[in-house]
Structure 1
């Protein structure tokens, strides 16, 4: 099976099963971010995470990494209330030098976006006086939302719903750019979860000098993701997808997964390791 054949199948599957707006990275990507974060956590933070996760069906960060995407099925009310917490639409360059600059009043009214959600849930998680159930829920949200904000299209444009309405075709089969980034680029490598973890762990960690390795918090991560979206060539022409697209952008997706794990470990160490 060729890389192109695998990519076709992955993009088609993502299009069929993911509602608009699609989930960042898909289940595999979120699990990978969580696993990479665990690698970078301190013993104290790991011990507190294990205490909070005790009793979960899969008591690990990877085991809860997709919980926030499954809320609509098992808690529809919370799913609706948290729907906007998965993304932020940062306006592209508007001629006034405001491209990819996060403005809370413009981009996150009432705190309903991924940047504010990460900050709010981290505050709950870090408060050891809160009930265990509240802190566990906050941990689930944080693990997922930090993954979300590193999927570039979750900090992209409002006018195409984060690439959901940017239609592409792979070997004549319709899909969209968001679905490609959620699952297609990862599935195109033909690796399972263990294979991906080995690959990512062996790759160099993003350096602080990397243009996309934002040293700050959620707002800086969102701005860095937005800059990827606004990079030349990120948006392929509508219609047939050039096979070279995956070769160019898959390394960027891999770097974003590494950064997601790196940043998640940082905030969890601060919130749990006290």
Structure 2
């Protein structure tokens, strides 16, 4: 029994390390969803509200992290959907070529399209459409996290160890992916309402793009941009100050793109 327990623990540890990292942290995903809600057509809002009835938190922000929670709540679906959270374009020059970037259709770009199609099919059961809505809200957030469209070789920055100032004496240790997930936002010390006010007042620096392929390519260009991968593992506040506005732009664009997609998917009726 002790030997079996040791092997079991070892296997579980390996499984944990094999899992892909999360996209934006819960805050980032809620912000994308809340920003999208602002721009939804009234009829689309009404249909989404009906689909969300019965959810513990029946709002778009309330379901925004559902797809990440699958790892604990529905491990089988969590495993099957794990590749849908990202696409690796860094080694492809930030160009989306489906056969190379998304073999078998298992990546965030194709998942967004497939789940949007399910959501828009009003002949399907409400439960299937609700699940598709949860995936769409989450995956649109994911594809705007630059490291989710970055290098395959370092697993989107997961293998790049960094330390950044977070207000504590020793700083915060982690990897580049986790810094982009949540560290850039958490170090600003703003609460969710303050973040929403800030992002709602922000003008987008680049025009909105049509379709998840372009969203992924834009995110990849951020991840591959000069300085996004720091020269040193120990970061200063200059890195946070330089790249936090970029992360803010990505979240702001994610909200607008999500609204565009939901309006296009649910806006037309037979």
TM-score by length of 2: 0.88
CA contact (8 A) 1:90 1:107 kept: yes
**What is aligned with 1:169?**
163
1:226 to 214, 217, 220: 220
Alpha-carbon deviation of 1:19? 8.3
TM-superposition CA deviations, 1:124-156 (whole Å, max 9, x none)? 011111110110000000000000000000000
Partners of 1:257 and 1:47 lie apart in 2 by: 24
**What is aligned with 1:32?**
31
**What is aligned with 1:6?**
none
Secondary structure, counterpart of 1:169 in structure 2? strand
Alpha-carbon deviation of 1:77? 0.7
CA contact (8 A) 1:167 1:238 kept: no
Q: Structure 1: state its 5+ residue gaps.
A: 1-16, 93-97
Larger Rg: 2
Taking the TM superposition and a 5 Å limit, the aligned residue runs for 1:1-274 are 21-92=20-91, 98-170=92-164, 171=170, 173-204=172-203, 206=204, 210=206, 213-274=207-268
Alpha-carbon deviation of 1:203? 1.5
Most deviating of 102-111 and 167-176: 167-176
CA contact (8 A) 2:208 2:257 kept: no
CA contact (8 A) 1:214 1:220 kept: no
TM-superposition CA deviations, 1:239-260 (whole Å, max 9, x none)? 2113200000000000001000
**What is aligned with 1:11?**
none
Alpha-carbon deviation of 1:238? 3.7
Distance 1:262 1:18, change over 3 A: farther
Partners of 2:17 and 2:139 lie apart in 1 by: 17
Partners of 2:24 and 2:108 lie apart in 1 by: 15
Partners of 2:51 and 2:115 lie apart in 1 by: 15
TM-score by length of 1: 0.87
Partners of 2:263 and 2:244 lie apart in 1 by: 29
TM-superposition CA deviations, 1:13-57 (whole Å, max 9, x none)? xxxx99852211100000000000000000010000001000000
Distance 1:240 1:86, change over 3 A: same
TM-superposition CA deviations, 1:207-238 (whole Å, max 9, x none)? 5xx2xx45220000000000011110110124
Alpha-carbon deviation of 1:172? 6.1
Partners of 2:43 and 2:253 lie apart in 1 by: 22
Task: State the structure with bigger RCO (CA 8 A, min sep 6), 1 or 2.
Answer: 1
Partners of 1:256 and 1:203 lie apart in 2 by: 11
Partners of 1:172 and 1:122 lie apart in 2 by: 41
Alpha-carbon deviation of 1:273? 1.9
Q: Structure 2: state its 5+ residue gaps.
A: 1-15, 165-169
Partners of 1:27 and 1:169 lie apart in 2 by: 21
CA contact (8 A) 2:119 2:265 kept: yes
Partners of 2:50 and 2:113 lie apart in 1 by: 22
Secondary structure, counterpart of 1:240 in structure 2? coil
Partners of 1:167 and 1:173 lie apart in 2 by: 11
